[in-house]
Amino acid sequence: MPAYQIKVNGETQTVDVSEDTPILWVLRDHMDLVGTKFGCGIGQCGACTIHLDGYAVRSCSLTVSQVEGKSITTIEGLSADASHPVQKAWKEVDVPQCGYCQAGQIMTASAFLERNSNPTSEDIKNAMHGNICRCAAYTRIHKAVETAAN
Ligand code: FES
């Protein structure tokens, strides 16, 4: 099996996996970074969202060979102590219900706010609409993104 050098949360690691292994499973099964969740496995729900070179991407839909040489950030790497402004806003607004989709939501929101620090309500809706929440906590998610932006 080929060895891939993967840079995750600032640290480069080598993994021996087949080239078509989704990076989601490399993170969870080989690096023990289980904050990134498996939802649908087909790029539809957003539970597996990570940052790739600062952009929100779906880790279930990218293979290890596609991300080699790029910089990955997972929810564990967003901040050492959950002090990222989006994480703080999430706590302030008390967003989660079951919590399963929250890492993906936060990764999408943080990448979005990095590029748009003064979003309109419509901007937030557009940015977050692809992240599904089975508890339908969408009002609180929206409020938290607004809070983090202010
Ligand atoms: Fe990747 Fe649903 S698990 S988008």
Tens of pLDDT along 21-33? 999 999 999 999 9
Reference 113, options 54, 48, 36; nearest CA is: 54
Q: Is the CB of 44 under 6 A from ligand 1?
A: yes
Average pLDDT of the residues of the chain: 97
Q: With the CA atoms of 123, 60, 45 and 29 taken in that order, what torsion angle do they form, in degrees rounded to the nearest 10?
A: -110
* Mean pLDDT on 122-132: 98
Mutate to test the pocket of ligand 1, among 23, 40, 105 (most ligand atoms within 8 A of CB): 40
Ligand 1 mean position, distance from CA 10 (Å):
23
Ligand 1 mean position, distance from CA 141 (Å):
18
Cβ–Cβ under 8 Å, residues 83 and 40: no
- Tokens linked to 132: 């599904």
> What is the structure's pLDDT at 63?
98
Ligand 1 mean position, distance from CA 96 (Å):
18
Q: Quick one: CATH architecture of 3-76?
A: Roll (3.10)
> What is the structure's pLDDT at 79?
93
pLDDT > 70: percent of the chain: 100
The domain 85-149 having CATH identifier 3.40.50.720: the answer here is: no
> What is the structure's pLDDT at 29?
97
Query: What is the residue extent of each domain of the chain?
Result: 3-76, 85-149
Tens of pLDDT along 73-94? 999 999 989 999 999 999 999 9
Q: What is the ipTM of this complex?
A: 0.98
Cα angle for residues 148, 149, 150 (degrees, 5° grid)? 95
- CA–CA distance, 113 with 99 (Å, rounded to integer): 21
- CA–CA distance, 87 with 74 (Å, rounded to integer): 13
Q: Is the CB of 103 under 6 A from ligand 1?
A: no
